[in-house]
Amino acid sequence: QQQVKQSPQSLIVQKGGISIINCAYENTAFDYFPWYQQFPGKGPALLIAIRPDVSEKKEGRFTISFNKSAKQFSLHIMDSQPGDSATYFCAACSPLNNDMRFGAGTRLTVKP
Amino acid sequence: ETGVTQSPTHLIKTRGQQVTLRCSSQSGHNTVSWYQQALGQGPQFIFQYYREEENGRGNFPPRFSGLQFPNYSSELNVNALELDDSALYLCASSLVGASGTQYFGPGTRLLVL
């Protein structure tokens, strides 16, 4: 069922460094690509999202880069902080049947 | 404005039993989606409800069923529970046509013994 592949599975970054998480999708019907952040014991929270007609979107320290021809997109977290330590999920949404497909997640640890 | 709430927070059932999980949407949202999240995995789409009808379904068997009520709250019912049904069940609300912008509840942790 997985149509969105996410890497790496886990990532350790020093405080102040850049965290990069990559995703690739297969279905060209996807038209909305959100990223979610999930802390232990909590539901996922929407972080930032992009549509395929835009190649980059930035919100504060978070940037999505989108490559439509390669069917890939990535999340960059600048100046990573210990409070960013969480699991990050990329997702792709199709308007055809309203489902959202999630990647398997990346567990980010930012060391102080 | 209240967020998405789910009940119960935890639940233990035995194989073959039936379970009902409940969700209250975020204020103003008319669409509810349900997801199953196994440990260490991403959420998997079960189905979505809009106007009290199923509006999309993932690859889950018919023993997973749902309801949406006029106040947009929702239930997820699972019959004939199997051990593999043990997971975190997440509810998310959104506005119709904005399925990508979903707001998740904290989930219900179901353990099937």
Question: Per-residue pLDDT for chain A (112 aa), expressed as one digit of tens each?
Answer: 558 999 999 999 999 999 999 999 998 888 899 999 999 888 999 999 999 899 999 999 999 999 999 999 999 999 999 999 999 999 998 877 667 899 999 999 999 9
Interchain CB distance below 8 Å, A105 and B40? yes
* Residue percentage of chain B with pLDDT more than 70: 94
Beta-bridge mates of residue A48: A35
pLDDT score of B97 more than 80: no
Q: Which of A6, A34, A99 sits opposite B58 (nearest CB)?
A: A99
Give pLDDT, residue A102.
93
Span B7-26, average pLDDT: 96
The pLDDT assigned to B101 comes to 80
Contact between B81 and B18 under an 8 Å Cβ cutoff? The reply is: yes
pLDDT number for residue B56: 86
- Residues in A closer than 8 angstroms to B32, CB to CB, are none
Q: Which residue has the higher pLDDT, B18 or A40?
A: B18
CA distance A88 to A46: 10
A102 and B42 within 8 Å at the Cβ level: the answer is: yes
Does the pLDDT of residue B64 top 80, yes or no?
A: yes
Closest approach of B27 to chain A, Cα-based (Å)? 16
Contact between chains at B41 and A95 (C-beta distance less than 8 A): no
How many A×B Cβ pairs under 8 Å?
72
Residues in Cβ contact with A110 at an 8 Å cutoff, skipping those fewer than 6 apart? A12, A13, A14, A15, A17, A19, A80, A81, A82, A83, A84, A85
Residues in CB range of B98: below 8 A, 6 or more apart: none
- pLDDT at position A46 is 92
Question: Hey, are the CB atoms on B99 and A105 less than 8 Å from each other?
Answer: no
Of the candidates A85, A102, A98, the one whose C-alpha atom is nearest the C-alpha of residue A34 is A102
Dihedral sign (CA A67, B55, A48, B86): negative
**Does residue B55 contact residue A98 with C-beta atoms inside 8 Å?**
yes
